[in-house]
């Protein structure tokens, strides 16, 4: 191994110093640097044993960064893409469902702040919220002003 190249563990720690990564993400990012078969798994096992890789922190990090702007389905998709435990994703999504309407109203208020004046504007507002991952019932309630609860 050349001395000017960081070790796999060093590369992983450098990545982790910027933000939380799941084990699957680190494996994907570092696999091209693996020189001996199994060395990446050993390095990640060691980092995980020492608490540097923690799935719960990854989930919390995503929720803290993204929940104010995105709906449940979009956050669920991001968590699944990180290769996290399906049960951890389900638990996080269940907690988010209770606040989805309030979060959607806040996102809508920041972007638009007024009720749609015609069908075109209504469709535009609904598409915007849908692109953020909010559910259909939530979008309808927010755009229509919650009159038909």
- Report how far residue 49's alpha carbon sits from residue 75's, in angstroms, rounded to the nearest whole number: 27
Residue 91: inside a domain, yes or no? yes
Q: Do 78 and 40 lie in a common domain?
A: no
Residue 149: inside a domain, yes or no? no
Q: Which domain holds residue 112?
A: 100-143
Q: Do 104 and 131 lie in a common domain?
A: yes
Q: Are 104 and 129 in contact (CB under 8 A)?
A: yes
Q: For position 48, which CATH number holds? A: 1.10.10
- pLDDT tens per residue across span 99-115: 999 999 999 999 999 99
Count up the domains in the chain and report the number: 3
pLDDT band (50, 70, 90) for residue 6: confident
- Report how far residue 78's alpha carbon sits from residue 63's, in angstroms, rounded to the nearest whole number: 10
- pLDDT tens per residue across span 18-44: 999 999 999 999 999 999 999 999 999
pLDDT band (50, 70, 90) for residue 3: low
- pLDDT tens per residue across span 47-91: 999 999 999 999 999 999 999 999 999 999 999 999 999 999 999
CB atoms within 10 A of CB 146: 11
Q: Do 40 and 65 lie in a common domain?
A: no
Residue 148: inside a domain, yes or no? no
């Amino acid at each position: 191994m050349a001395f000017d190249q960081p070790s796999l563990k060093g590369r992983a720690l450098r990545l982790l110093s910027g933000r939380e990564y799941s084990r699957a993400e680190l494996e994907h990012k570092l696999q091209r640097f693996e020189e001996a078969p199994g060395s990446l798994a050993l390095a990640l096992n060691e980092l995980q044993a020492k608490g540097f890789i923690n799935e719960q922190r990854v989930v919390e990090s995503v929720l803290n960064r993204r929940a104010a702007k995105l709906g449940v389905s979009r956050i669920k998709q991001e968590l699944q893409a990180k290769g996290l435990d399906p049960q951890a994703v389900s638990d996080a999504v269940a907690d988010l469902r209770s606040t989805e309407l309030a979060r959607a109203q806040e996102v809508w208020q920041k972007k638009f702040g007024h009720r749609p004046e015609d069908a075109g504007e209504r469709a535009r507002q609904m598409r915007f919220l849908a692109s953020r991952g909010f559910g259909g019932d939530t979008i309808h309630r927010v755009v229509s002003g919650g009159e038909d609860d």
